[in-house]
Chain A
Amino acid sequence: MSYRVISGIFFSGLLLVFSACENNIIERSATDYFPIKEGNWWYYANNDLYNPKNINITVESPDIILQRECYPFNVSGEFHYYSKDQKGIKEYILVTQNYGGYDYTILQGFVTRLELPLVQGNQFSDSLVDSLDLADKWIKAYYSINGLVSDYQNNEIYGEVYRIIISKHQYISTQDSTIANEEYVEEYYAPNIGLIKFKNRDGEFTVTDFHIE
C-alpha cells in the first residue's frame, strides 16, 4: 500500500472517531451536575420586562439536621437544605401547623430531590408521611416528589444540559379539612455549573452569573 493510501485510511479513521465522539457521553458521565460546596452562588433573572424578578442562590456553611450533614441554600433569603449522598441529592422537608400561636412539626425528613447520576428517561419518586395528635385532633401531613430526567441537549455555552421535570404534592389533612398544594417545576442542569434555568409558577428564570468553588 502506498503512503497516500495508509495516511488516507488513518485520517479518515481519525475523522470518524472525532465525529463519533460528538455525542459527548464522557461529559455527561464524568462531570458534576449538582456542585454543592460552601461559597457557590448563582444569580437568576426572569425575562419579563414588565415584572422583572431576580433570584440569588448561595450555598452557606454546612449544618447538621436529623444527624445528616446538609448545605443550607439561601434562596433570596429563604433557606432550603440539601445533602448529597451516593444516590443523589436529598432535600430536607419540614411541614408545620400553627396552633395557639405555636408552630408544631407535623412532618420532617429528607426526600430524594434529584437522583444522580443523571440519565435520560430516569424517573424517581419519594414521599414522607406523618401525623400528630394536636389537642385531640389528628393532623396528617403527606409530601411527595416525582421527577423525570426528560432529555438532554447540547448547549453551545454550557455543554450537555439535562432537563428535569419535577412535581411536588403536599397535603395537610385534619378531621374536617384538607389543604393541598401542588407545584410543577422544570429545571435545566449543566455540567460543573448546576442549575442554569428553571420554570415554575413565578415564571422562567435563567442564570445570569455564577461562581463555583
Chain B
Amino acid sequence: MIVLFIIGLHFGIEGGMNQPVMGFDYTLNNGTCIKAYIGKQDLNHNVHLNLTLNGSYYKGKNTGYSLSTYGLGLMIRKIPWRVAPYVELGINYISRELDKNKEWGIGAAYNLGFLLNFYYEKINIYPALYYEGVTDFKAHAGSFGVKLGIGYEL
C-alpha cells in the first residue's frame, strides 16, 4: 500500500520574480518568490495534484516598506503536454512592514500560468509564466511573474 502510494509521488522547488501590476503596483517594486511542492499524478496520468508551500517578498517604493506573503495552496497542472497550463488556489498569510511597524492579515490566493516542460529521465525542468492574485474579497492585487522550477518523480 505504502509502495503504491510512493510510486508516482513527486516533489519540486520553484523560484522566480514577480512584477506587481494591479493594486500593489504603486507601493511595491518587484518581488522574489519561492515555492516547494509535493504531489501525485491522477490515475490516468493527465494531471499533477500538488500541495504547495510558498513565500514571496516585495520591497516597497518607499525604502522602509516591504510586503511578505507565506502561503499554502493546492495546484493542478496538466502533465503530458510540452506547454502545460496550471492553476493554484490557496490561502496566504500577508504581512506588511513600514519602519518596524507591522500589520498582518489573511488573503485568498490564486495563481494561473503556463509551464514549458523539459524532461530528463525522472527530472522535470520548466520555466513558467504566470499571474498571481490575492484578494480579501473586498479588494484584490496581482502580479505577473516568471519562474524556474525543477521537479523529481519517485
Minimal beta-carbon separation of A136 from chain B (angstroms): 44
Q: Are B141 and A117 in contact (CB under 8 A)?
A: no
Contact with B along A169-182 (1 / 0, CB 8 A): 00000000000000
Given A29-B24, A117-B96, does the pair A23, B141 have CB atoms closer than 8 Å?
no
Taken residue by residue from 95 to 137, chain B's Cβ proximity to chain A (1 for < 8 Å, 0 otherwise) reads as 0111101111111100000000000000000000000001111
Indicate with 1 or 0, residue by residue over A121-138, a CB within 8 angstroms of chain B CB atoms. 110000000000000000
Q: In the complex, what distance in Å separates the CA atom of A149 from the CA atom of B103?
A: 12
Q: How far is the CA of A31 from the CA of B96 in the complex (A)?
A: 14
Consensus secondary structure, chain A interface: mixed
Q: Is the CB of A88 within 8 A of B62?
A: yes
How many B residues are at the interface, by size bracket? Answer: 20 to 34
Contact B140 A26 (CB under 8 A): yes
Q: Are B94 and A115 in contact (CB under 8 A)?
A: no
Interfacial chain A residues near B97, Cβ < 8 Å: 119
- Binary CB contact string for chain B from 56 to 72 against chain A (1 if under 8 A, 0 otherwise): 00001111010100000
Which of B62, B98, B104, B141 contacts A30 (CB under 8 A)?
B141
Q: A26-B94, A26-B136 are in contact. Are A21 and B23 (CB under 8 A)?
A: no
Q: How far does the alpha carbon of A23 sit from the alpha carbon of B136 in the complex, in Å?
A: 8
Tell me if B96 and A30 are in contact (CB < 8 A).
no
Question: Which of A18, A22, A30, A117 contacts B140, CB < 8 Å?
Answer: A30
Given A18-B137, A119-B96, 9 more pairs with CB closer than 8 A: A24-B105, A25-B96, A27-B138, A30-B22, A30-B24, A30-B27, A86-B62, A87-B62, A122-B99
Interface pairs (29), CB distance under 8 Å: A17-B91, A20-B91, A21-B105, A21-B107, A21-B138, A23-B104, A23-B105, A23-B136, A24-B105, A24-B139, A26-B94, A26-B141, A28-B96, A29-B23, A29-B96, A29-B141, A31-B23, A31-B139, A86-B63, A88-B62, A116-B62, A117-B60, A117-B62, A117-B65, A119-B96, A122-B98, A122-B99, A122-B101, A149-B101
B interface residue numbers (CB < 8 A to A): 22-24, 26-27, 60-63, 65, 67, 91, 94, 96-99, 101-108, 134-141
